[in-house]
Amino acid sequence: MNRPPPSSDTLSRLTNVVGERYAIRDLAAMDGYMREWRGIWHGVSPLVVRPANTDEVSRVLAIAHETNTAIVPQGGNTGLVGAQIPHETNTEVVLSLDRMTRIIAVDASDNTITVEAGAILRSMQDAADAADRLFPLSLASEGSCRIGGNLSSNAGGLNVIAYGNTRELCLGLEVVLADGRVWNGLKHLRKDNTGYDLRNIFIGAEGTLGIITGAVMKLFPKPRVQETAFIAIASPQAAVDLLSLARELSGNRVVAFEIMPQFAMDITVKHMGARNPLATPSPWYVLSELADPVRGTFLRILETAMERGWVSDATVAQSAAQRNELWAIRELMPESQTHEGASIKHDIAVPVSRIPAFFTEADAVIRRMMPDARIMGYGHLGDGNIHYNITQPLGMEKQAFLSQWDAINDAVYAVVISLGGSISAEHGIGRLKRKYMPFIKSPVELHMMRGLKRMLDPKGILNPGKLLPE
């Protein structure tokens, strides 16, 4: 971390690799690479390089390794934990993958898509669709996030319950190592039992072990029938019960199961122009989807759930347009929160059965600390992953609220740990959560992680000060 700024000679050597046009030194032109959408971090960097291909990434890293220059890899800059933003030290060079956007191949018989790391997630979904296939990774930022970042953060999103997170969708990787050597692991194999699983070391590593430059990802058949329901539900426990019922009655066809509280609905209606599709307000809502069920399955599930008193009202989309409208409510939720002032976010996971206990215990703790806090616990109930976000109370000064950041984090994480959970389910560690690593990783785990880091990046030039604790 305490390295001197790169010399002007180093900066011009790095510039020469990508060419003047793709090396940004001008502060204004660099700004978009220095800020992230939460507005928490604002990096300061002497140079942003935008390589055109793997060879240029390799040459950049060879120079960085030789000159001990820190490199911060960046994809679509949509990350939520600051991993992609340089420190404020003006010493770290940003390497953006935003020119490496190619979809190299879509293979409908092998069900694979091969891409460069800067490919935008939506362009992969579209390319799969054009080949009558599904690339199921789906998240609110899909129009701008890039697959290299999705892999580096092991992103989750809305369909993890059925298809897994980014890690589970990956078959092969190409990675440039810290010293510039290239590992070509772009395999299309479904089975490959030949020793250590190198691919998975780089997934979720947040660019601290190597820079992912290419990937082979899995494709799936496109569902022919989708049943999407928006459901007013009594409580998180009723939601957990409904999930079990939906799985049973649909023959395990649940591909999404999201929960959201009334507060989340209110602010999405207020700020984002969304419309509550249900007439009566409810303390909780569930948005769920079945893929390829026997037609009418969701109605049967809802009838049973109503008889059992779990569900008070629901609507099942009757057209693609209605389905999109229902999904928009959920996808606009993170942005709606930014209009309500500051929020202290948590991306927690507990076993699905413990979600009701998590809400009860965490809400009680927060209410004791800050009675007027506006709690927005929502998200991927089907994965046991809740975005437990605390929004600043009406009338409270932003600074007074933010001064409680650590206290609120500590309180929520204590509940999570007592329930056998994780403090990061899908957003990663980055800068935001690295200080919590010693609490959630055992000394043995940290020893192994540090050993990997030392072996793959002996000079510590790759994304320093991220993920691993000091």
| Helix, coil or strand: residue 258 | strand
Residue 90 Cβ vs ligand 2HG, minimum distance, rounded to whole Å: 29
Is residue 362 within 8 A of residue 413, CB to CB? The reply is: no
Q: Which is nearer to ligand 2HG, 152 or 389 (CB)?
A: 389
Cα separation of 60 and 71, whole Å? 9
For ligand 2HG, give the closer residue by CB, 146 or 387.
387
136/334 with CB nearer ligand 2HG:
334
Beta carbons of 457 and 209 less than 8 angstroms apart = yes
- In the complex with ligand 2HG, the residue whose CB is nearer, 46 or 76, is 76
Whether 10 contacts 69, CB under 8 Å:
yes
Binding residues for ligand 2HG, rule: CB under 6 A, are 80, 140, 334, 345, 379, 387, 389
Question: In terms of CB distance, is 65 or 323 closer to ligand 2HG?
Answer: 323
CB of 387 to ligand 2HG, least distance (A): 4
Nearest-approach distance from CB 192 to ligand 2HG, in angstroms: 31
- The nearest distance, CB 388 to ligand 2HG, in angstroms, is 9
Of 65 and 345, which has the nearer Cβ to ligand 2HG?
345
Residue 330 beta carbon to ligand 2HG: minimum distance, rounded to whole angstroms: 7
Question: Coil, helix or strand for 426?
Answer: coil
The beta strand positions in 234-273, using DSSP E, are: 254-261
Are the CB atoms for 310 and 238 separated by under 8 Å?
Answer: yes
Name every residue whose Cβ is closer than 8 Å to that of residue 447 and which is 6 or more positions away in sequence.
none
Nearer to ligand 2HG, 140 or 272 (CB): 140
Closer to ligand 2HG by Cβ: residue 158 or 212:
158
Tell me the torsion sign for CA atoms 18, 62, 433, 404: negative
d(CA 301, CA 1): 55
Q: Cβ of residue 131: shortest distance to ligand 2HG, in angstroms? A: 27
Q: How many CB atoms lie within 10 A of CB 160?
A: 26
Quickly count: other Cβ atoms within 10 Å of residue 342's Cβ. 19
Closest distance of CB 379 from ligand 2HG, Å: 5
Is there a contact between 337 and 379 (Cβ–Cβ < 8 Å)?
no
Q: Contact 135/128 with Cβ under 8 angstroms? A: yes
Residue 60: CB atoms within 10 Å: 23
Q: How far is the CB of 63 from ligand 2HG (least distance, A)?
A: 36
Instruction: Report the candidate in 74, 127, 78, 69 with the shortest Cα–Cα distance to residue 103.
Output: 127
